[in-house]
Amino acid sequence: MNSASEGDLFSEGLILVDLLASFIATNGVNIATGFSIAQNLFKSKVVSIETHSEFILFSSEDAIFSFLTSNSYPRGDYVSRLVASRICRSIEQINLQGGVIFIRQLRGASGSNIRSLLLPLYGVGDKFICTYFLLAGIGEF
């Protein structure tokens, strides 16, 4: 497998942050709050991209849940657990589709193609898609 350049993984990391932010913001917080928490989730490496395998790594659902509850996610334990579960299950689905390869498909794809890629993921619906489009600067809703 060809290893991605550092610039590519940075770009793919930004897409991953947008996906994480969409999960967080879709469940009752504004997009700015969701994006800030998602950035910190990625920076802290609770969710990360493994350089050699190009899979998305996360330590556990409990680690994501703990991160959310300790980082001012204002929706309480029940919603924090729900969001952590959706993130984990979707990452597992993304990794089954190649991890970073899946993320690369999102970059530069049309709105309808992005929608068809994301909708099968666990916990993704129209509100998630709209949030992702806003974060990614995609004008199609």
Q: What is the mean pLDDT of the chain?
A: 89
Could you tell me which of 80, 126, 1, 44 has the C-alpha nearest to residue 13?
Answer: 44
Band (71; pLDDT cuts 50, 70, 90)? confident
Please tell me the distance from the alpha carbon of residue 79 to that of residue 23, in angstroms, as a whole number.
Answer: 11
6-136: CATH class: mainly alpha
Cα 51 to Cα 23, 135, 139: the distances in Å are 24, 24, 31
Is the predicted pLDDT of residue 140 greater than 50, yes or no? yes
Please tell me the distance from the alpha carbon of residue 57 to that of residue 64, in angstroms, as a whole number.
Answer: 12
Q: For the segment 5-46, what is each residue's pLDDT rounded down to a tens digit?
A: 555 556 899 999 999 999 999 987 889 999 999 999 999 999
Element of type H or E holding 116:
helix 111-118
Question: Which of 19-33, 57-71, 88-102 is the most confident on average?
Answer: 88-102
| Angle at alpha carbon of residue 64, lines to 66 and 8, rounded to 5° | 145
pTM to 2 decimals?
0.89
Beta strand segments in the chain, E: 47-49, 56-58
| Averaged pLDDT, 114-122 | 96
pLDDT at 1: 36
pLDDT at 76: 83
Could you tell me which of 135, 127, 126, 134 has the C-alpha nearest to residue 16?
Answer: 135
**Spans of all domains in the chain:** 6-136
Cα 141 to Cα 67, 111, 126, 137: the distances in Å are 31, 7, 9, 11
| Non-local CB neighbours of 136 within 8 Å, separated by 6+ positions | 15, 18, 106, 114
Q: In this structure, what are the phi and psi dihedrals at residue 56, rounded to the nearest 5 degrees?
A: -90, 130
